[in-house]
Amino acid sequence: MKIKTKFGMAMQILCILCLAGSTLYFIIGWNQIPAEVPGHYNFAGEVDSMTGKGSLIFLIVLNWVMYLGMSVLEHFPQAWNTGVKITARNRARVYRILYHMLVCLKFSVVLIFSFITSWHENYMPPWFLAATLLLTFGPMIFFLVQLWRVR
């Protein structure tokens, strides 16, 4: 069964562009990155620990690993927890909705980690927490409502 769509392919392209861009930014700008970068921000967006810039390598690698892991998961819809009973009548639609949710969440993760990797200031913008929550839970709520309607 084919569940790939133009929307899904567009999201895949955006993920690759974002990953490649953040990786290139990191490689090209290595000498401009300060020796110590923020390692953790508190809830108020203030730095509460510093770490060496080498720790950013871990973030880049983690971003790629999460992207690749979610990409592998896309190929096994039977492993997805659908939350609804799969029937012959709703199978294609349920899998398409979940595929769209997965690619949106994958793009959200890539976007969030790319931003964190490239942000070296001593504060986190006040909008970052709200944006992260919206990018994470927005697609989940949107697609779970669609899934609920299909059941």
Residues 144 and 146: their CA atoms lie apart, in Å, by 5
Q: How far apart are CA 51 and CA 35, in angstroms?
A: 8
Return the pLDDT at 99: 93
pLDDT of residue 2: 67
Query: Cβ distance 111 to 28 under 8 Å?
Result: no
Global pTM value: 0.88
- The per-residue pLDDT for range 71-103, each reduced to its tens digit, is 999 888 878 877 788 888 888 888 899 999 999
Query: Is pLDDT at 23 greater than 70 in this prediction?
Result: yes
Structural domain boundaries in the chain: 6-150
Positive or negative: CA dihedral 17, 99, 92, 75 = positive
1 pLDDT above the threshold of 60: no
What local confidence, expressed as pLDDT, does residue 107 receive?
97
Mapped onto helix, strand or coil, the DSSP state of residue 83 is coil
Which residues make beta-bridge pairs with 6? none
The yes-or-no verdict on residue 5 having pLDDT over 70 is: yes
Q: For all residues of the chain together, what is the average pLDDT?
A: 91
